[in-house]
Amino acid sequence: MLKNIFEKKRKESSPTKKDSAPLPADALLQKAQACLTRLRGLQPSDPEAFPLVNEASRYVQQLEIEVHKLAGSDDTRCGACGCICRAQAAAAHQQQLLEALAQQAAAAGRQERQLAAQRRQLAGDAAALEHQQRPGLESQQAAAVEAEDFEAAAAIDEQLQALAAQQQQLAVRLCRAEHQLGQCGAARVSLVVLRGQLLERLGAFFGGLREQRQAEVVKMEEEAAEASLADQYASEEAGLAQQAADVAALSADLAAAESASADLTAAAESGRSALQEQQSALLQEVSQLAQWSEERATAAAAAAASVAAEQAAQQLLVGLKAADGEAQEKLQDLCKCIDDAAAQVQEAEVLRARLAADKAAADDKAAAAAARLPEVEAEKKAAAAKKDFKEAARLSTEAKALAVAAQAAAEEAHGLSGRLAAAAAQQAGQQAELEELQAMKQQRRRKAYQGRLAAAAAQQAVQQAELEELQAMKQQPRATGRQRKWQHMQEALQRQWGQQRQQQVHHQMA
């Protein structure tokens, strides 16, 4: 089947006797580009798509013939560079046309699958209407007539008529979907065949261009190899000259480094002798500082003991303040709980009164419905005897409503009785809880007062410890200035010796 379609498309695209003279390459390129632009704006199911595809294919065939003519003329190759460029542009546009055909074929395939799914859905809906909904409605109508529900029977008859109209609409949509599915399948097959033809032509054209490009690449590689060898020889000669210059420069640097090393050695010896003199002078000050350090250690021990006592007192004071704050918060929470409990007792009293009123109203409603029910039953029997089915149906509905209302009122009264008893029990429990909370309030007030007294005593102890610490600090000796001077001198000597040693090692390595 695909072969027959291919032959038919080839005959349609072949030129006839009525065709005009062949157009130049530029005109063919413009025609093919215009067809491609129009083809991108169409859908596969549009009636203008197939003639436009055939026209574009014919222009591409003629343009391919012109390209082969230009490629075969070796004598005029140098003068036809512009034509070859135009041929390459034509090949690029042919590739764009191929991509557009592939997109059209994919869109046709998607549309074909969508139409097939739509056809299956329509067929399933029609079968469901015929085999499921119609028998159910007919059985419901028969049951309504037997149960004397004439209003429901009339409504079901209207539903059956609407179901028949819906089945007719589904049949028309199913025929239309099958017709569109056939058209979409034919369009997709024709697009696939035309895409295969364009792929074969594009492959042949690119094969010729590939061979020509390979020959040019081989020639360019040979020329590049010769140039690379010449550059490599020149770079090696320059490298030898640079190495000779580097050797001379390194010899001069070595001589300068040896002279600098001798100077640094002499400077290090003079610095070492000066350092020894400074150390002997500082040893005398060390003994005096040791004596001052012993006195300072004794004073520091006394201050540490005082600080420890003060810290313990501070911790005790903080703990007492925290306990007092916590007691105040608990007292406030207890007061809030008492207020909430009193409000709950009041709400329980209101709820109990409302439930009692609701129970009395439910009892009255149940009694009224029970008294009206026998009268409605008698009227219904009289209407049925007179064959007044509408009145009988209305009275039957009223009787059912009265029975349901009486049952609901009785159930509501029973539920309200239980809720009333529960509300009374809840009110008694809340009253007992309120009395217990009021007793706890008095106890917590006494505890909060005792905590504040303990905090005041602890604060007085902290103030006494601070006073004793100030008196001890006035008696401590102050010898920290000379000790700081000794530390600075030691650090300066160590830095100076380290710098000299580092410079000497650096010059020896150089």
58: in domain? yes
CA distance 465 to 266: 63
Q: Which residues contact 119 (CB under 8 A, 6 or more apart)?
A: 174, 177, 178, 181
Pairwise CA distance, residues 163 & 141, whole Å = 14
Task: Note the pLDDT of residue 232.
Answer: 77
Q: Are residues 202 and 74 in the same domain?
A: yes
- DSSP character for 73? -
Residue type for position 95 = Q
For residue 267, what are its two tokens? Answer: 């400077």
Same domain, 49 and 188: yes
Residues 204 and 340 both lie in one domain? no
> Which stretch of DSSP H or E encloses residue 414?
helix 389-473
Token representation of residue 442: 């008095």
Is 184:45 a contact under the CB 8 Å cutoff?
A: yes
Rounded Cα distance, 259 and 227, in Å? 50
- CA distance to 42, 114, 164, 183, per residue, from 176 (Å): 21, 14, 19, 11
Residue type, 189: V
Residues 458 and 313 sit within 8 Å (Cβ to Cβ): yes
Give residue 29's domain range.
2-219
C-beta neighbour count of 460 within 10 angstroms = 11
Residue-level pLDDT at 356: 76
Same structural domain, 77 and 180: yes
pLDDT at 148: 64
71 shares a domain with 194: yes
Find where tokens 């001379």 sit.
248
Does some domain include residue 472? Answer: yes
In 3-state terms, what secondary structure has residue 152? Answer: helix
Do 333 and 211 share a structural domain?
A: no
Whole-number Cα distances in Å, 183 to 22, 45, 110: 34, 7, 13
Looking at residue 5, what is its pLDDT? 42
The CA distances from residue 421 to 322, 347, 361, 433, in Å, are 46, 15, 17, 19
Residue 56 and residue 39: Cα distance in Å, rounded? 9
For residues 77 and 205, membership in a common domain is answered with yes
Q: Write down the pLDDT at residue 363.
A: 78
Q: Which two tokens stand for residue 351?
A: 């709820």
Residue recorded with tokens 């064959």: 387
What is the DSSP code string of 178-215? HHHHHHHHHHHHHHHHHHHHHHHHHHHHHHHHHHHHHH
Residue 245 placed within a domain: no
Q: Identify whether residues 325 and 198 lie together within a single domain.
A: no
3-class state of residue 55 by DSSP? helix
Q: What is the pLDDT of residue 504?
A: 62
CA separation for the pair 489, 491 (Å, rounded): 6
Identify whether the C-beta of residue 483 lies closer than 8 Å to the C-beta of residue 292.
yes
Q: Are 122 and 177 in contact (CB under 8 A)?
A: yes
Same domain for 61 and 209, yes or no, is yes
| pLDDT confidence of residue 44 | 53
Domain-located, residue 84: yes
The pTM for the full model equals 0.26
The count of structural domains within the chain is: 2
Considering the domain architecture, whether residues 194 and 312 belong to the same structural domain is answered as: no
- Report CA torsion sign: 495, 497, 498, 502: positive
pLDDT at 343: 77
- Using the 3D structure, point to which of 202, 219, 236 is the last residue of a domain: 219
Helices and strands counted in the chain (H then E):
8, 0
Q: What is the pLDDT of residue 255?
A: 74
Domain identity same for 81 and 177: yes
Within a domain: residue 244? no
**Residue at 275 is within a domain:** no
pLDDT value for 249: 78
The CB-side HSE value for 22 (13 A sphere, CA atoms) comes to 11
Q: Is residue 128 part of a domain?
A: yes
190 and 42 in a common domain:
yes
Which of 219, 247, 282 is a domain's end point?
219
Would you write out the chain's pLDDT as a tens digit for each of its 510 residues? Answer: 334 444 554 454 444 434 445 566 567 666 766 776 666 666 655 656 556 666 766 766 676 666 556 545 444 444 444 445 555 665 666 667 667 666 766 776 676 677 777 777 777 776 776 776 777 777 777 777 677 676 776 777 787 788 778 778 877 877 877 777 676 666 666 666 666 666 676 666 666 667 777 777 788 887 887 788 778 777 777 877 787 777 677 767 767 766 766 776 776 677 677 767 776 776 776 677 667 667 666 656 666 665 665 666 567 667 766 776 776 777 777 777 777 777 777 777 787 778 778 877 877 877 777 777 788 788 878 877 776 778 878 888 887 888 888 788 778 877 877 777 777 777 778 788 877 877 777 777 777 667 667 666 666 666 676 667 666 555 554 445 555 656 666 676 667 666 766 666 565 555
pLDDT attached to residue 87: 52
Distance CA 81, CA 399 (A): 104
d(CA 52, CA 35): 7
- How far apart are the C-alpha atoms of 443 and 434, rounded to whole Å? 15
Domain boundary among 199, 219, 239: 219
The CA distance from 196 to 319, in Å, is 93
Q: CATH code at 449?
A: 1.10.287.1700
Residue 129 inside a domain? The answer is yes
